[in-house]
Amino acid sequence: MNAQGKPASRHGAVSLKDIADELGISQTAVSFAINDKPGVSEETKRNVREAAARLGWTPTYAARALGSNKTMTIGFAPSRSSEGYQTETFMLHFMAGIHESLSRQGYGLLFRPCKSTREEMSVYRDWARSKRVDGVILVDLRADDPRPKLLRDLGLPAVLAGGPDPDDIVPSLSIDDSRTMETILTHLTLLGHRRIAYLSGDSHLDYCMERTKAFERFTSSRGLGPLWIEFTDFDMDKALIATQRLLAEDEPPTAFIFESETLAAASIRVITEVKVRQSYTAERGSGGVYPYNMPATVSFEDSFICESAYPSITAVHRDAGEYGVKIANLLLKLLAGEPVSGNRKILSPQLVVRESTRLPMIQT
Angle at which helix 16-23 crosses helix 42-55, to 10 degrees, equals: 120
CA dist list (Å): 162 to 206, 208, 213, 346, 357: 8, 11, 16, 10, 28
Name the β-bridge partners of 158.
Answer: 136
Residue type at position 136 = V
Residues 6+ apart with CB under 8 A from 268: 294, 297, 309, 311, 313, 356
pTM here is 0.75
pLDDT at 278: 65
The domain segmentation of the chain, as residue ranges, is 16-59, 73-175+320-348, 177-318+351-357
pLDDT at 23: 92
In CATH, the architecture of 16-59 is Orthogonal Bundle (1.10)
Residue 264 contacts residue 313 (beta carbons within 8 Å): yes
Helix (H), strand (E) counts: the chain:
14, 12
CATH class of 177-318+351-357: alpha beta
What backbone torsions phi and psi does residue 263 show, to the nearest 5 degrees?
-65, -40
Q: Which of 214, 223, 187, 179 is nearest to 361 (CA)?
A: 187
pLDDT means per 10 residues in the chain (364 residues)? 44 76 89 78 88 80 57 91 64 92 90 93 95 94 94 96 90 90 95 94 92 95 92 92 92 94 87 69 49 83 89 91 93 90 76 84 46
Q: What is the dihedral sign for C-alpha 44, 50, 56, 62?
A: positive
Largest CA distance in the chain: 94
| Residue 298 parent element (H or E) | strand 296-299
Q: Which of 255, 347, 352, 254 is nearest to 300 (CA)?
A: 352
Length of the chain: 364
Q: Match domain 73-175+320-348 to its CATH number in 3.10.50.40, 3.40.50.620, 3.40.50.2300, 3.90.260.10.
A: 3.40.50.2300
Residue 88 contacts residue 201 (beta carbons within 8 Å): no
Q: Which of 225, 223, 175 is nearest to 198 (CA)?
A: 225
pLDDT at 288: 46
Residue 18 contacts residue 51 (beta carbons within 8 Å): no
CA dist list (Å): 70 to 39, 61, 73: 19, 9, 8
pLDDT at 60: 59
pLDDT at 128: 94
Topology match between the domains 73-175+320-348 and 177-318+351-357:
yes
